[in-house]
Structure 1
Amino acid sequence: MPVTALVSAKSSGVTTSALALALASGRPTTLAECDPSGGTIRSGFLQNEVSAGFGLYHLAKAERVGPDALANAFASHLWPLDDAGHRQLLPGLTDPAQAAALSRTWPSLAHIMRVLATQASQDVFIDAGRLALDAGRLHPTLTPAPLLHQADLVLLVVRGTDQSLTLARHLLKPLTAELSEHGSGSDALGLLLIESGPYRAHQVAESLKLPVMAALPFDPESATYLTQGGPQPRGYKRSQLLRHARTATQQLEAVAARRQVQRQYAPEPASTQLAGVLERLNHKRKGVPHG
């Protein structure tokens, strides 16, 4: 299954899109909220159900102990997004100041994501947030670049508006260079279009010279629920957003599979250090203790 990272030039619905994809997938799914500027699912969709003692920041300390500690900490900090525990969240940072502590953790975390996808057959979505640049390159602290390097697909989330396309255009050169030099190639980069604004998918693709790999409808009621939580809207499970998100996950899997065949990628073997992650995910209880 693919590892898909979502990014944006500015607030374009990255978190809402990533959450919709994770909830709509027909397979076991992990969503990692890795935006260095801070996570919002904890206080929004989860309505502060998860305390600050739980989530991404705590993996930095575990990584300094060693691979086994990181693998076990990762499994311990996943929070169920559904009653069966088939969809799980790694909650994000509660304070942007915590991002600096994760600079050496990102590569190890990227490897865990890869193992989840190849060995545990999970859909893995990474909310990498708004990209920050430094001298024309991805910022070393404010962007989780190693997660993008190891992703099968990197989706630049845009809306069909002049403002969104203009902002996105400034990221194309540095992001393409980053994936060419350190990732799996520039063809990992594509667009996720939020269908808001006058421009259709073919116009957006032509404007940015990138393929639209998936599209999600502008569905304010469902998007508000995913952003803010609260009572579930009537008909939410049959909403346009979830229906199109389900289709999008299938499209992304197909694109990633084609890339793998074209490049003849071989699945990485699960390392012994990550055995704890797989064992705990495969035999995980339906719930986890509230931290």
Structure 2
Amino acid sequence: MPVTALVSAKSSGVTTAALALTLASQRASLLAECDPAGGTIRAGFLKSSVTAGYGLYHLAAAERIGTEALANAFASHLWPMDEAGHRKLLPGLTDPTQAASLSRTWPALSEVMHVLAADAGHDVFIDTGRLAFESGRLHAVLTPAPLVQQADLVLLTVRGTEQSLTLARHVIEPLRTELDERGAGADALGLLLIEDGPYRAHQVAEALKTPVLAALPWDPETAAYLTGGGRPPRGYGRSPLLRHARTAAEQLEAASSRRRIQQQYPVRPANPQLAGVLQRLTETARGGPRG
């Protein structure tokens, strides 16, 4: 299964889109909230049911002990988003000043997530927030660069508006260069279109010279629930956003598979130190979700 990093030039609904994809996936799924500017799901969708004792920040100390400690801490800090535990969240930072402490944690965390995707069959979505560049490169603190560089797919989330496309144009080329020179390759980059605005998928792809790999409809009622939590709207499970998110998750898996075949990527070597995280997570993932 792919590891997909969602990024944006500026507020384009990355977190809502990532939540929709995770909740709608037909397989076991994980959303890692890795925006250095801070996470919003804890206080929004989860209505503060998750304390600051859980989450991304705690992984930095574990990584300094070793890979096995990081893997076990990772498993311990996941929060179930459904009763069966098939959809999980790694809650984000509660304080943006904590981001600097994670700079050396990102590469090892990326490895854990790739093992989870490849060996445990999870769809892994990473909310990396707004892109920040410094001297033409991804910023070392304001963007979790290794997570973006090593992802199987990198989705630049855009709306079908002139403003969103204008902002996206400024980050497309430096992001493509970053992936080409320091990442998994420029062909890992695609667009996730939020269908808010007059421009359709083919027009967005042409304007940004980048393929639209998936699209999600403009569904304010469901989006408001994913943003703020509370009582789900009537017909939530059959809402346009979740129905299209299921399709989008399948499209992303297919795109990743095609890319893997075309590039003839070698199989990632197994890391026995990550056995702990696999054992603890596959117990609930076996069989995958049905709804």
| TM tier relative to shorter chain | over 0.9
* Greater CA drift, 48-57 or 265-274: 265-274
CA positional deviation for 1:65: 0.9
How do residues 8-23 of structure 1 correspond to structure 2 at under 5 angstroms?
8-23=8-23
Paired-residue identity, % = 72
| Corresponding position: 1:137 with 2:137 | yes
CA positional deviation for 1:136: 2.2
Q: Specify the SS of the correspondent of 1:112.
A: helix
How do residues 118-133 of structure 1 correspond to structure 2 at under 5 angstroms?
118-133=118-133
> Hey, what does 2:69 align to over in structure 1?
69
In 2, the alpha carbon distance for the partners of 1:62 and 1:260 equals: 32
Preserved contact between residue 84 and residue 284 of structure 2 (Cα < 8 Å): no
Q: Structure 1: 5+ residue runs without aligned partners?
A: 286-291
In 2, the alpha carbon distance for the partners of 1:210 and 1:20 equals: 23
> Hey, what does 1:289 align to over in structure 2?
none
How do residues 222-261 of structure 1 correspond to structure 2 at under 5 angstroms?
222-261=222-261
Q: Structure 2: 5+ residue runs without aligned partners?
A: 286-291
CA positional deviation for 1:173: 1.4
> Hey, what does 1:198 align to over in structure 2?
198
Deviations 1:166-217 (A, max 9, x none): 0011001110111001111100000000000010000000000000000000
In 2, the alpha carbon distance for the partners of 1:282 and 1:211 equals: 33
CA positional deviation for 1:3: 0.5
Deviations 1:207-236 (A, max 9, x none): 000000000000000000000000010000
In 2, the alpha carbon distance for the partners of 1:20 and 1:242 equals: 6
Preserved contact between residue 4 and residue 151 of structure 1 (Cα < 8 Å): yes
In 1, the alpha carbon distance for the partners of 2:283 and 2:254 equals: 28
Partner letter of residue 115 of structure 2? Answer: V
In 1, the alpha carbon distance for the partners of 2:166 and 2:196 equals: 15
In 1, the alpha carbon distance for the partners of 2:227 and 2:38 equals: 14
CA positional deviation for 1:68: 1.2
In 1, the alpha carbon distance for the partners of 2:246 and 2:107 equals: 29
In 2, the alpha carbon distance for the partners of 1:150 and 1:134 equals: 19
Partner letter of residue 87 of structure 1? Answer: R
Deviations 1:36-88 (A, max 9, x none): 00000000000000001110000000001111110100000000010000000
> Hey, what does 2:289 align to over in structure 1?
none
In 2, the alpha carbon distance for the partners of 1:140 and 1:48 equals: 29
In 2, the alpha carbon distance for the partners of 1:167 and 1:61 equals: 36
Q: Specify the SS of the correspondent of 2:56.
A: coil
In 1, the alpha carbon distance for the partners of 2:14 and 2:137 equals: 21
When the two chains are superposed, the root-mean-square deviation of aligned CA atoms in Å is 0.9
Q: Specify the SS of the correspondent of 2:234.
A: coil
CA positional deviation for 1:272: 1.3
Preserved contact between residue 22 and residue 125 of structure 2 (Cα < 8 Å): yes
Preserved contact between residue 119 and residue 269 of structure 1 (Cα < 8 Å): no
> Hey, what does 2:45 align to over in structure 1?
45
> Hey, what does 2:3 align to over in structure 1?
3
In 2, the alpha carbon distance for the partners of 1:94 and 1:45 equals: 15
